[in-house]
Structure 1
Amino acid sequence: MTGIVFAGGGTAGHTSPLIATAHAVTELDHDVRVTAIGTARGLETRVVPAAGLPLELIDPVPMPRRPSGDLLKVPFRLRRAVNQARDVLRETEAKAVVGFGGYVAMPAYLAARSLKLPIVVHEQNAVPGLANKVAARFARHVTTTFPDTPLPGATMVGLPVRHEITELDRADRRDDAIRAYGLDPAQPVLLVSGGSQGAHSINTAVAGARDRLLARGISIIHVLGLRNISEADVDIDDEQSGAGYRPVGFVDAMADAYAAADLMLCRSGAGTVVETAVVGLPAIFVPLPHGNGEQARNLEVLLAADAGVQLVDAECTPDRLDTLVGELIMDRTRLAGMSERARDAVPGDADRRLAELIMSVIN
Structure 2
Amino acid sequence: MIMAGGTGGHVYPGLAVAEDLRAKGWNVSWIGTSRGLEASVVPANNFTLHTLKTLGLRGKGLMSKIKGLITLVLASAQAFILLARKRPNMVIGFGGYAAGPAGAVAKVLGIPLLIHEQNAVAGTTNRLLAKHARRVMAGFDGAFLRDINVSVTGNPLRAAFSGLPDKCYPDTHFEHSRCLRVAILGGSQG
Which runs of no fewer than 5 residues in structure 2 stay unpaired? 175-179
Deviation of 1:34 after TM superposition, in Å, equals: 1.0
Deviation of 1:54 after TM superposition, in Å, equals: 1.1
Deviation of 1:105 after TM superposition, in Å, equals: 0.8
**Residue 62, structure 1, aligned to residue 53, structure 2:** no
Deviation of 1:86 after TM superposition, in Å, equals: 1.8
- Residue 202 of structure 1 corresponds to none
- Residue 73 of structure 1 corresponds to 67
Q: Deviations over 1:234-266 (max 9, x none)?
A: xxxxxxxxxxxxxxxxxxxxxxxxxxx8646x6
Q: Deviations over 1:172-191 (max 9, x none)?
A: 7x68xxxxxxxxx6689xxx
**Residue 132, structure 1, aligned to residue 50, structure 2:** no
**Residue 114, structure 1, aligned to residue 32, structure 2:** no
Rate the CA distance shift 1:59–1:170 in 2: closer, same or farther, 3 A: farther
The answer to whether the Cα contact below 8 Å between 2:32 and 2:52 also exists between their aligned partners in 1 is yes
Rate the CA distance shift 1:69–1:270 in 2: closer, same or farther, 3 A: closer
CA distance in 1, matches of 2:48, 2:134: 25
Rate the CA distance shift 1:270–1:10 in 2: closer, same or farther, 3 A: closer
Q: After the TM superposition, which segments of 4 or more aligned residues of structure 1 sit over 6 Å from their partners? A: none
Greater percentage in helix:
1
Match of 1:155, SS state, is: strand
Q: Deviations over 1:247-300 (max 9, x none)?
A: xxxxxxxxxxxxxx8646x6531797xxxxxxxxxxxxxxxxxxxxxxxxxxxx
Match of 2:156, SS state, is: coil
Matched residue count: 183
Rate the CA distance shift 1:270–1:60 in 2: closer, same or farther, 3 A: closer
Match of 2:42 among 38, 48, 61: 48
Task: Tell me the TM-score normalized by structure 2.
Answer: 0.85
Match of 1:84 among 59, 78, 98: 78
**Residue 20, structure 1, aligned to residue 16, structure 2:** yes
Match of 2:9, SS state, is: helix
Match of 2:187 among 251, 258, 269: 269
Deviation of 1:114 after TM superposition, in Å, equals: 2.0
CA distance in 2, matches of 1:150, 1:128: 6
Rate the CA distance shift 1:96–1:68 in 2: closer, same or farther, 3 A: same
Deviation of 1:75 after TM superposition, in Å, equals: 2.1
Match of 1:160 among 138, 156, 161: 156
Match of 1:147, SS state, is: coil
Deviation of 1:167 after TM superposition, in Å, equals: 2.0
CA distance in 2, matches of 1:65, 1:169: 44
Deviation of 1:67 after TM superposition, in Å, equals: 3.4
CA distance in 1, matches of 2:36, 2:62: 23
The answer to whether the Cα contact below 8 Å between 2:57 and 2:69 also exists between their aligned partners in 1 is no
Match of 2:90 among 70, 92, 96: 96
Deviation of 1:73 after TM superposition, in Å, equals: 2.1
Task: Tell me the TM-score normalized by structure 1.
Answer: 0.46
The structure whose RCO (Cα within 8 Å, separation 6+) is larger is: 2
CA distance in 1, matches of 2:150, 2:129: 12
Rate the CA distance shift 1:58–1:270 in 2: closer, same or farther, 3 A: closer
**Aligned AA (1:129):** G
Identity of aligned residues (%): 32
- Residue 177 of structure 2 corresponds to none
CA distance in 2, matches of 1:76, 1:271: 26
Deviation of 1:94 after TM superposition, in Å, equals: 1.1
The root-mean-square deviation of aligned C-alpha atoms, in Å, is 2.5
CA distance in 1, matches of 2:14, 2:42: 9
Structure label with greater radius of gyration: 1
CA distance in 2, matches of 1:107, 1:129: 15
**Aligned AA (2:14):** L
The answer to whether the Cα contact below 8 Å between 1:37 and 1:57 also exists between their aligned partners in 2 is yes
Match of 1:158, SS state, is: coil
Q: Deviations over 1:43-66 (max 9, x none)?
A: 111111121211111112212413
Which runs of no fewer than 5 residues in structure 1 stay unpaired? 176-184, 189-260, 273-363
